[in-house]
Amino acid sequence: MSSPSTGSRSLSNLHVFAFVWRQWMRRPRMFAAVVVFVVASTLSDLMVPIFAGKLVDALAQGPGAAGRDSAWAAYALFLGFAVGFHFFRQTAVRFFEVPMSVRNMEDMVNEAFATVQGFSADWHANTFAGAVVRRVSRGMWAYDDITSNLVLGLAPTLMVLFGLCFYMLAAWPLVGLYGLAVLIAFMILNVLMATTYIRPANQISQARDSAIGAALADAVGSIGVVKTFGAEAREADRFAATTRAWRTATQRTWMRFVNTWLVQIVAVLALQAGLVGLLVHLWASDQASPGDVAFAISAFLMMSGYLRRFGEEVQRLQRALDEIEDIAIYARTTPQIADAADAKPFAPGPGAIAFERVTFTYAGQTEPLYRDFSLTIAPGERVALVGPTGSGKSTFVKLVQRLYDVGAGAVTIDGQDVRAVTQTSLRRAIALVPQDPALFHRSIAENIAYANPDAARDDIVAAAHRARAHGFIAALPNGYDTLVGERGVKLSGGERQRVALARALLADAPILILDEATSSLDGETERQIQEAMEELMRGRTSIVIAHRLSTIRDADRILVFDRGRIVEQGTHADLVARGGVYARLHARSEG
């Protein structure tokens, strides 16, 4: 991913254009209609200065009958093409471009969301959520800028500019060649400045913009910690440093935009001096009529406007390409953990888990955490994992969930390699109650039913009863319809834990993972939850990551981890009697 500090990117403009083209081709008929009507409006616009010149020549004939007829005919065509320009352009935008763009933007942002969701837990752990939100929303609007600038702006601009030049080339070769020379030089300089002078600065300012989103999400998402330590002023200073870096980078970018206007000014002045001057010279030599001079003046006025538009549109287009680049990168990024092409739905069974000579190394590390690791957990067995931080406990359950892929060997559940089944079906067969459960800013009922969206209200209430959560839920003003706040901030730690337990109960999965699920509860509530957990674990394969050894005395087997190895295993009584690592941990916890 791009670094917020450097703004380094991986795609060229051509690759980003290819991504935008794929968006247009979602609805090829609508896009073709846009092109047809834009071409028609542009050709109409191109005719206006031509018939303005013919109108002047007709007027120069005097008020006689022939002059009047020619003048009115030229006037009708002059006005008709002006009306046609607006009619065709409005038709293109109203009936085709707007409906096409909003649908494409909807599809694009939905796909970006789905793509980001499919990235690995590692990717999300190393990426600011706020920056991702900023990039996706910014890229969605960038699509609109690209479409309007390129299809409705740059394409008609090029048609008008070159069309007028070719008309002049046919009528007055010297004038046409001069116009083409100025036009081509202007365009080459603009494109070069946009891609080599503006783009590098713009990429840095875009990265700074993403950093603002990241900083906002980081501070607001942890507002409880900020207030606990009275750190509002410190966070404000930290955020101000981020916006200051954005201001510096953005000011540099915008000044580069301003500097390119000098090229436009020179080109417009050169065009004004050359086109009108050359045709006045031809008129003086009796090689051009007053209408031809009027055409040159009209053409200059039109071309100067289009030249300014061209420069601005190239700059806006480059900025929009830089803004949409992140979404294009996401679309080209291969998911770190992907379903196999022939993956089948997981077939839930009794819950037998096996690690078969597994080797696993975290990204960025050279030494594997697990090396040739083997273990079997029987269906319905209650297994507790203990050991120091970094010993491999959490990695064990993440490999069971296939949040990571093993480097060698296999993890199987009921004889099925977890890599051979779809991730969605696998994880639906595993219920997890984490130590610090995250809830959605939705109702309590929706949070409990997240494991089973089709659950009836009675089933939701029953799960809450079993999790000893019904009491506090019923006491809330809106009961089960109470919104819990972002990440469940409106609830206490113990209340969030009970909602998460109710969610796991409703999942009714054959495998249960408990990550010290009672750590946030008071003594009385813990006793009640332990009773509910006993019921929940009955008949299910249960894996308990234990931080307090008092919670795992009744486990069928306790696995003591140390640096990716199981150094001891057995029941609580057996391990205490053995006097090894577990016995020392137990003595320390009892003391």
Tell whether the model's pLDDT for residue 357 goes beyond 90.
yes
In the listed set 303, 332, 361, which residue is the last one of a domain according to the structure? 332
How many whole angstroms separate alpha carbon 544 and alpha carbon 553? 11
pLDDT grade for 8, boundaries at 50, 70 and 90: very low
Q: Which residue has the tokens 């979404």?
A: 327
Tell whether the model's pLDDT for residue 487 goes beyond 80.
no
Q: Do 493 and 549 fall within a single domain? A: no
pLDDT grade for 197, boundaries at 50, 70 and 90: confident
Predicted pLDDT at 7: 42
CB contact at 8 A, 536 and 451 = no
Q: Do 105 and 136 fall within a single domain? A: yes
Q: Do 483 and 423 fall within a single domain? A: no
Q: Do 350 and 456 fall within a single domain? A: no
Question: Which CATH number covers residue 322?
Answer: 1.20.1560.10
Residue 337 is which amino acid? Answer: I
Best CA proximity match to 102, nearest among 140, 75, 60, 146:
140
Q: Do 480 and 580 fall within a single domain? A: no
Name the H helices within 419-522.
423-428, 444-448, 457-466, 470-474, 493-507
pLDDT grade for 88, boundaries at 50, 70 and 90: very high
Q: Do 149 and 291 fall within a single domain? A: yes
Q: Both ends of the chain: CA-CA distance in Å? A: 48
Per-residue pLDDT of 427-481, as tens digits, reads: 999 988 887 788 888 899 999 998 888 899 999 999 998 888 898 999 988 999 9
77-91, 269-283, 503-517, 567-581: range with lowest mean pLDDT: 269-283
Q: Which residue has the tokens 């390119």?
A: 260
In the listed set 464, 487, 508, which residue is the last one of a domain according to the structure? 508
| Ordered DSSP codes for 525-556 | HHHHHHHHHHHHHTTSEEEEE-SSGGGGTT-S
Q: Do 307 and 242 fall within a single domain? A: yes
Per-residue pLDDT of 408-419, as tens digits, reads: 999 999 999 999
Task: Report the share of the chain in percent with pLDDT over 70.
Answer: 90
516 or 483: which leads in pLDDT: 483
57 or 152: which leads in pLDDT: 152
How many whole angstroms separate alpha carbon 308 and alpha carbon 156? 13
Cβ-in-10-Å burial (0-12, 13-18, 19+) of 117 comes to exposed
Q: Which residue has the tokens 């000044």?
A: 255
Per-residue pLDDT of 260-272, as tens digits, reads: 777 767 777 777 6
pLDDT grade for 66, boundaries at 50, 70 and 90: low
CB contact at 8 A, 511 and 426 = no
Name the H helices within 222-231.
223-228
Q: Do 350 and 317 fall within a single domain? A: no
Q: Give the residues across from 373 on adjacent strands.
A: 358
Q: Following CA atoms 409, 413, 418, 420 in sequence, which dihedral angle do they give, to the nearest 10 degrees? A: 100
Q: In which domain, by residue range, is 494 found?
A: 436-508
Average pLDDT, the chain: 83
Residue 178 is which amino acid? Answer: Y
Task: Give the single-character DSSP code of 366.
Answer: S
CA angle 114, 119, 122 (to 5 degrees): 150
Over residues 12-36, mean pLDDT? 92
Question: Which CATH number covers residue 381?
Answer: 3.40.50.300
Any domain includes 5? no
Predicted pLDDT at 123: 81
Per-residue pLDDT of 303-319, as tens digits, reads: 777 777 777 777 788 88
536 or 484: which leads in pLDDT: 484
Neighbours of 173 (CB within 10 A): 10
Q: Do 220 and 360 fall within a single domain? A: no
Per-residue pLDDT of 510-557, as tens digits, reads: 999 988 766 555 666 667 677 777 777 888 899 998 877 777 888 899
Any domain includes 528? no
Neighbours of 293 (CB within 10 A): 18
Any domain includes 536? no
Per-residue pLDDT of 203-220, as tens digits, reads: 888 788 878 877 877 777
Any domain includes 303? yes
Q: Which residue has the tokens 């319809």?
A: 481
Tell whether the model's pLDDT for residue 3 goes beyond 70.
no
Q: Do 420 and 491 fall within a single domain? A: no
Tokens of 433: 């109650």
How many whole angstroms separate alpha carbon 484 and alpha carbon 90? 47
How many whole angstroms separate alpha carbon 189 and alpha carbon 228? 56
Q: Do 55 and 122 fall within a single domain? A: yes
Tell whether the model's pLDDT for residue 34 goes beyond 90.
yes
Any domain includes 251? yes
In the listed set 508, 529, 561, which residue is the last one of a domain according to the structure? 508
> Which residues, other chains included, contact 521 with Cβ-Cβ below 8 Å and sequence gap of 6+?
494, 497, 498, 529
186-200, 280-294, 420-434: range with lowest mean pLDDT: 280-294
How many whole angstroms separate alpha carbon 393 and alpha carbon 560? 9
Tell whether the model's pLDDT for residue 368 goes beyond 90.
yes
Any domain includes 66? yes
Into how many domains does the chain fold?
Answer: 3
> 3-state class of 509 per DSSP?
coil
Tell whether the model's pLDDT for residue 403 goes beyond 80.
yes
Sign of the Cα pseudo-torsion (490, 449, 340, 353, in order): positive
Per-residue pLDDT of 145-173, as tens digits, reads: 899 888 888 888 888 888 878 887 887 88
Over residues 366-374, mean pLDDT? 93
Residue 136 is which amino acid? Answer: V
Any domain includes 566? yes
Q: Do 498 and 443 fall within a single domain? A: yes
Any domain includes 526? no
Task: Give the single-character DSSP code of 429.
Answer: T
